Structure 1
């Protein structure tokens, strides 16, 4: 069922403010994809939203889709080149090219699209029919594709197209430099998963349930593991950017970063020449700053007061808030009284600690 667009100006303003605060963190779109999709769906009014972030060649590196079934997600991740990149296929790689309109190429795609794998195996398989697409460009390069979906029935109006187009500037801002504030990530924010690899080719031999779940949720190209039993690819370390033991990598995924590390285990018992093994560790790092945004947005504050509270939550000094928020000392004191009343904080330092908790 289509999520209705907000009816009040205050509700719309809050959604725009949420989008601006999330994208202003400068984390890219992958870590904030679940929150951004929810905002876009609510702003425009749609059944579901999806974000695809792209590599330098315009191919999807990963994605977040709110309601696509497991089988469709696995097909997209594992069979993209075989099923969805041929003639007549209109997909994220096609939409990433700058030889067409930036928004709305799938509003009236023609009969060929409805015969394509992209429509039948992905869009229709998810219960959708109408698609509103947006190319997110930064410095002349397509960095992401945003999509909104609706079931058969009413399509997207010109006004709704304009709303998504207005969001493009905020989405592009997500790829800018992060503000000087909290560290961009938090260490040890989730359980650690383990994958045991053989000694010679470092082929996966065993993955515990935590590792399997982290890889399912990562939605990385070539790692479609949602439907059926987990079957890890033989080149799993290379897909994660781990060329040799001792290597480490951080990969942007929905909700944060997937931290991966590879090390050599001691040889198994069995005497001289016994084969050693390798251990791949995985952990999701959740950015502190996303939690700060969520806590600030939950407060009964004005947009400016949320901006001021956000500065404290991101670790800025009170002395910097005049310049960053564009307010004088008298106005700042007035707004802080409202912020302290809403949060129970006693001073700026206490407010910072509460919002970072």
Structure 2
């Protein structure tokens, strides 16, 4: 490996660790994590599935699935849960090796729906999988994520991936485990981006119409039973509010790939005096919020800094006080002054506060 390739890989490892230490969980950082894993292993694509504290599937991000495959997975999940199916629940079981259970699959795998309806249409022939376990509420290990990287059939390796690449995935596990520990900094700011709306009839709560942005947000949320890729507003399910975990008048913040989805419902009334009887419709507003911490990490990793200097710069970007960074970065005051001088020059900032503002901008 050349020096530049080595430095690039080290930067990728540091980016993975910094992202997972934000304390956001895996959903908001899923796209970045998949891109890093794919680059580190040298795969064609990557996917990430996260599970709740009980070990039940909660969400996923797949880099290159066509819309038809995503719809099938979300709307017909039962096709992939039968005996012999290599589904996420099977890969999440605490049995067998933590890495590479699909490196040498048996003949049943190639006859399964999981392979023929999901993997083959994606162009995937080889899979390198990783089970991520953390201590659960009772102290026992619980699988909280399954990560996978994929390759097509044309490869120089007999089973698609080498032992060295399996070791790379194994190394990533330590960082991914940190995503489920609360280590986030004081900054909780989010960039509010896309906003969409869905209109519901008051008495039946059936969706009547939705704008294009709402459809895109619902598609990207990857909610089971809600595969809407290529669909129109007329295809919205009658129990949409239930699938979103909402009742009229409720709001919730849902972690989704790319960030947080803010869901809010409010009544629309007829007449000048709003009463329960005058409620004619309910309006659901969906707004995607991207945590600024993710952008801070991305910007810091792009700067020509040493690993320690990146750690210091991220602290500024996350809103930590300069005085707190001594203990958090584990450096002396003299060392901090030296490293901060180099960071400020590279980041075109004059002081700690300006550095933080620039990284959060």
Note whether the superposition's TM-score is higher than 0.5: yes
Q: Say whether 1:12 aligns with 2:15.
A: no
Q: What is the CA-CA distance between 1:114 and the residue it aligns to?
A: 0.7
Alignment correspondent of 2:318: 314
Alignment correspondent of 2:177: 172
Q: Say whether 1:250 aligns with 2:253.
A: yes
Conserved 8 A contact 1:267-1:277: no
Q: CA-to-partner distance for each residue in 1:143-175, whole Å, 9 max, x for gaps?
A: 111010000033111110011011011011111
Q: CA-to-partner distance for each residue in 1:174-216, whole Å, 9 max, x for gaps?
A: 1110333201x52x61132110011122111111111011111
TM (norm. structure 1) is: 0.93
Q: What is the CA-CA distance between 1:99 and the residue it aligns to?
A: 2.7
- Could you say if the C-alpha distance between residues 20 and 253 of structure 1 is closer, same or farther in structure 2, counting changes exceeding 3 Å? same
The 5 Å alignment of 1:90-109 reads: 90-109=86-105
Calculate the aligned-residue CA RMSD, in Å.
2.0
**Equivalent residue in structure 1 for 2:291, among 284, 287, 302:** 287
Q: What is the CA-CA distance between 1:104 and the residue it aligns to?
A: 1.0
Distance 2:185 2:289 in 1: 19
- Could you say if the C-alpha distance between residues 190 and 347 of structure 1 is closer, same or farther in structure 2, counting changes exceeding 3 Å? same
Distance 2:279 2:311 in 1: 57
Conserved 8 A contact 2:75-2:224: yes
Q: What is the CA-CA distance between 1:345 and the residue it aligns to?
A: 0.6
Q: Which runs of 5+ in 1 are unaligned?
A: none
For residue 286 of structure 1, give the secondary structure of its aligned residue in structure 2.
Answer: strand
Conserved 8 A contact 1:60-1:221: no
Distance 1:227 1:209 in 2: 11
Alignment correspondent of 1:64: 61
**Equivalent residue in structure 1 for 2:330, among 326, 333, 337:** 326
Q: What is the CA-CA distance between 1:93 and the residue it aligns to?
A: 1.3
Conserved 8 A contact 2:54-2:142: no
Conserved 8 A contact 1:53-1:143: yes
Q: What is the CA-CA distance between 1:56 and the residue it aligns to?
A: 4.6
TM (norm. structure 2) is: 0.92
The 5 Å alignment of 1:113-124 reads: 113-124=109-120
Conserved 8 A contact 1:194-1:208: yes
Number of residue-to-residue matches in the alignment: 348
The 5 Å alignment of 1:74-223 reads: 74-81=71-78, 83-139=79-135, 140-154=141-155, 155-183=160-188, 185-186=189-190, 189-223=192-226
Conserved 8 A contact 2:258-2:290: yes
